[in-house]
A = this chain, B = another copy of it.
Amino acid sequence: MTTGPAEVLAALKWRYATKKFDATRKIPADVWSSLEQSLVLSPSSYGLQPWKFVVVETPAVRAELRKASWNQSQITDASHMVVLCRKLEVTPADVESYVDRIVEVRGVPRAVLDDYRKMMLGSIANPAAVPGGSMEIWTRSQVYIALGVFLAACAVAHVDACPMEGFDPAAYDAKLGLREQGYTACVVATVGYRAADDAFAGMAKVRAEVAKVISRV
């Protein structure tokens, strides 16, 4: 690997929340595939991956979703769009299925995972004790880890992105049939290439003074 701390910092300084995408430019398939894989590879609590990532490709669906997103142009103009969704519930069946997957991938006997399995089952049996204090908050938090990883991956890959919370989750759920599948929309990422005339591209990045957000003990 040729990357390092300086490269990631340069990438994070380069990125910005793209307001206007070049609607004529598409992300090459191999690049998009890598970005999708960054979502799949994202860490999550226990590794449970309580999420689904819906890649919306159909232009007519994108146009419908734009109406449920304050008519923001990124929804239709970006090369790609992904809706990051959380699982409504994490069930014992999800834990068992995850343990099965560990057995399959690592080729270990199921018995060696029993303590881990019981720990996870104990956690979900008492949702008030999960980090954040509810299943909803816990699963939503995991989805935002994936968003952060994805935005960093886009930056390092020199692909523009705009994370978007300004949409109607209920309308998204309905149009994408998410609740029937056990999921709900949390946040959207539109991805592609900035338009040459996006006024926001040239603006200085605004962040708090370091002393305000970093403290040392």
Residues of A at the B interface (CB closer than 8 Å) are: 1-15, 17, 30-31, 34-43, 45, 47, 49, 51-58, 61, 98, 101-102, 105-106, 131-132, 136-137, 140-142, 144-153, 156-159, 163, 165-166, 169, 176, 186-187, 203-210, 213-217
**Chain B: which residue is nearest A148 at the CB level?**
B148
Complex-state Cα separation, A105 to B203, whole angstroms: 9
Q: Are B148 and A213 in contact (CB under 8 A)?
A: no
- A38: which of B8, B56, B157, B176 is its contact (CB, 8 Å)? B8
Minimum CB–CB distance from A86 to chain B (whole Å) comes to: 10
Q: Are A213 and B52 in contact (CB under 8 A)?
A: yes
Q: How many copies make up the complex?
A: 2
The interface residues of chain B lying within 8 Å CB-to-CB of A148 are 42, 144-152
The interface residues of chain B lying within 8 Å CB-to-CB of A7 are 1-3, 156
Q: Are A57 and B1 in contact (CB under 8 A)?
A: no
Q: Are B43 and A3 in contact (CB under 8 A)?
A: no
Q: Offer 8 A-B interface pairs, CB within 8 angstroms, sorted by A.
A: A9-B38, A36-B210, A40-B214, A54-B215, A54-B216, A54-B217, A141-B187, A148-B152
With A54-B215, A105-B204 known to touch, is A11 a contact of B3 (CB < 8 Å)? yes
Q: Are A157 and B8 in contact (CB under 8 A)?
A: yes
